[in-house]
């Protein structure tokens, strides 16, 4: 990735060691990935952003090439990881923040605790647990949420068969399947010891996330500008993202990204880059 100006780093935060990549210079933009992916989902977006901004893309706790603690997978804790990386390690006091999939609720957690630091927030194809609606699991349509919350069972079923199980998502969750060379990098990280458990722990923390966010939203709405985008095909969340963030923030715009399923940074990178740049400039 050096040819793209992407540099790899590690940060020791005590209970977790975060891998992260950086590129470019300027006002900071932090990119948070989702499951079952890693920082690598942003590789098409980073070069364009890095022409104007300092880009930081970490692997979240337990995922990618970060370490895999036994606990701490509620999004407030994961958000605190990100704050410590950005503020304490990198010395950044203000930044733009973008979150996709589980990176979205993590980004919300950061913005809710540090609203003065997160100057603008973008949430991609995910809703916020605790927003007062059942959309995080779509009333059970997102069947894997319940499976992943079941202790031990998904690990036992999927270990050694990651290509079959995770491959179903890579093939079906978008308007087009992800390419084999793309999924190979994700499978490399999710085959590592403890990676499946860590990924499923994001889902096992959903009840905690709902309680935490509902308590926050009862007396506080995010004050910074928010961009909320959903894909319009396959398993894309369409207008759900916009609706969810309007319940959690005061200044929300966005809507649909066309011809796009769930893998927005890879299915429509040029469109997403344009939407982000326009949002950051506005």
Question: Could you tell me the residue ranges of all domains in the chain?
Answer: 2-281
So what CATH class is 2-281? alpha beta
Residue 44 annotated among the catalytic residues of the structure: no
Block residue for tokens 């050694």: 160
Q: Is the dihedral of CA 280, 55, 101, 113 positive or negative?
A: negative
pLDDT in tens, the chain (282 residues): 555 689 999 999 999 999 999 999 999 999 999 999 999 999 999 999 999 999 999 999 999 999 999 999 999 999 999 999 999 999 999 999 999 999 999 999 999 999 999 999 999 999 999 999 877 898 889 999 999 999 999 999 999 999 999 999 999 999 999 999 899 999 999 999 999 999 999 999 999 999 999 999 999 999 999 999 999 999 999 999 999 999 999 999 999 999 999 999 999 999 999 999 999 999
Is residue 193 classed exposed, middle or buried when 0-12, 13-18 and 19+ CB atoms within 10 A define those classes? exposed
DSSP E strands in the chain: the ranges are 7-12, 17-23, 27-32, 53-58, 95-100, 118-124, 226-231, 252-257
Q: What is the pTM of this model?
A: 0.97
Residue 101 annotated among the catalytic residues of the structure: yes
Residue 74 annotated among the catalytic residues of the structure: no
- Cα–Cα distance, 33 to 161 (Å, whole number): 23
Catalytic hit among 53, 173, 202, 203: 203
Catalytic hit among 65, 81, 101, 131: 101
């Amino acid at each position: 990735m050096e040819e793209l100006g992407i540099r790899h780093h590690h940060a020791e935060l005590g209970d977790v060691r975060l891998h992260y990549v950086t590129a470019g210079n300027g006002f900071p933009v932090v990119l948070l990935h989702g499951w079952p992916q890693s920082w690598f989902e942003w590789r098409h977006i980073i070069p364009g952003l890095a022409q104007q901004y300092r880009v930081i893309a970490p692997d979240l706790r337990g995922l990618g090439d970060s370490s895999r603690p036994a606990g701490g997978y509620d999004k407030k804790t994961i958000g605190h990881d990100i704050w410590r990386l950005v503020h304490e390690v990198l010395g950044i006091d203000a930044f733009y923040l973008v979150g996709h999939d589980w990176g979205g609720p993590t980004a919300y957690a950061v913005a809710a605790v540090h609203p003065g630091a997160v100057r603008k927030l973008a949430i991609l194809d995910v809703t916020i647990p605790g927003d007062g609606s059942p959309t995080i699991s779509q009333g059970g349509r997102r069947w894997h949420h319940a499976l992943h919350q079941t202790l031990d069972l998904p690990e036992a079923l999927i270990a050694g068969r990651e290509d079959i199980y995770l491959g179903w998502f890579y093939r079906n969750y978008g308007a087009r399947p992800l390419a084999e060379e793309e999924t190979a990098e994700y499978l490399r990280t999710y085959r590592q010891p403890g990676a499946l458990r860590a990924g499923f722990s994001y889902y096992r923390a959903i009840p905690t996330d709902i309680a935490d966010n509902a308590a926050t939203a009862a007396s506080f709405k995010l004050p910074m500008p928010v961009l909320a985008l959903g894909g319009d095909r396959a398993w894309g969340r369409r207008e759900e993202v916009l609706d969810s963030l309007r319940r959690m923030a005061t200044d929300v715009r966005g809507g649909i990204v066309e011809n796009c399923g769930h893998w927005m940074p890879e299915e429509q990178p040029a469109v997403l880059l344009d939407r982000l740049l326009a949002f950051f400039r506005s």
